[in-house]
Amino acid sequence: MHQPAPSAHPRHRTVEAPAGRLHLVEEGTGPLVLLVHGFPESWYSWRRQLPALAAAGYRAVAFDVRGYGRSSKPAATDAYRMLDLVEDNLALVRALGEESAVIVGHDWGSTIAAVSALLHPEVFRAVGLLSVPYAPPGGPRPTDVFARMGGDQEFYVSYFQEPGRAEAEMEPDLRGWLAGFYAAVSADTMPARGEPDPHFVARTGGRLRDRFPRGELPAWLTQDDLDVYAGEFERTGMTGALNRYRNMDRDWEDLAPYGGAPIEQPSLFIGGALDASTTWMADAIEAYPTTLPGLVSSHILDGCGHWIQQERPEEVNHLLTAWLASLRS
């Protein structure tokens, strides 16, 4: 199967949104497909999907979520709550002159896409979820759950909660930190079974990077790709990206009225068999007949890690375009 190369002439622009401005990259014409990235990424994470979707007859738009890249970075921590990100997505669809869109997300973008579809089915007519399964709002307070994980170790989401703490680890050597983080959850470079889990840190003086692989980059990540990611975060810092994690309890409160709610629209899930998001949330995947009654197809890619659309672009592009085609029939 031919892998589309990134377009030499993607269209970059910014549009007005509640965040202030959102930077987007657009390719193709046809029905709108909105692509939402995760942590710590940018629109660039969809560089292999934009030309493939455009070639299949879609208007593919990837953008920098607020706090990332060339989009605005509000100062307040609570400006990164899920409801605000959903409003950004609505504004983006309107700014593009459209009334509806298919929304596809990866990592945090998967959750943002899912909540956008849950709250606004009149706009987001279908939803694709990559790496992170849909779990309806509800359950215990998130920070309480994370605090109980790991025993004498601290879960990375808990580690991210205190403003400035994780930044102090990351920002002195952003390029090196990103390289290690990407490698830690990529199929070909992740630690072997039995080695210390990079999702946890020692509770006293621990750093995430202490458990990152050293040396070789994962096969999907070139030095030039790493330069792009590092360049964006060197300019913006990490606080905007980390503030997403610092709003999980606020999201839990905001979305309480939707506790247990299913997403009814046509949906797609693609996960990596070696991704902790897939294995830790296996119960969420098993619940899809109830939580995603409109599910068209669900796929677990053998031998694939977390960065699914970058590790396995050909397969993901094939699955995405086949699913999108089914929405037209």
Residues with active-site annotation: 107, 306
Report the DSSP beta bridge partners of residue 59.
32
Burial degree of 291 (CB within 10 A; 0-12, 13-18, 19+): buried
How far is Cα 52 from Cα 328, in angstroms, rounded to an integer?
Answer: 17
Is omega for the bond preceding 40 within 30 degrees of 0, making it cis?
yes
Q: Concatenate the DSSP letters of all residues of 212-237 into one string.
A: S--SPPPTT--HHHHHHHHHHHHHH-
Amino acid at residue number 259: G
How far is Cα 308 from Cα 297, in angstroms, rounded to an integer?
Answer: 16
Residue 126, H or E segment: strand 124-130
Q: What tokens were used for 104?
A: 């596809």
How far is Cα 74 from Cα 43, in angstroms, rounded to an integer?
Answer: 19
Q: Concatenate the DSSP letters of all residues of 86-111 into one string.
A: HHHHHHHHHHTT-S-EEEEEETHHHH
- Residue count of the chain: 329
CB neighbours of residue 46 within 10 Å: 28
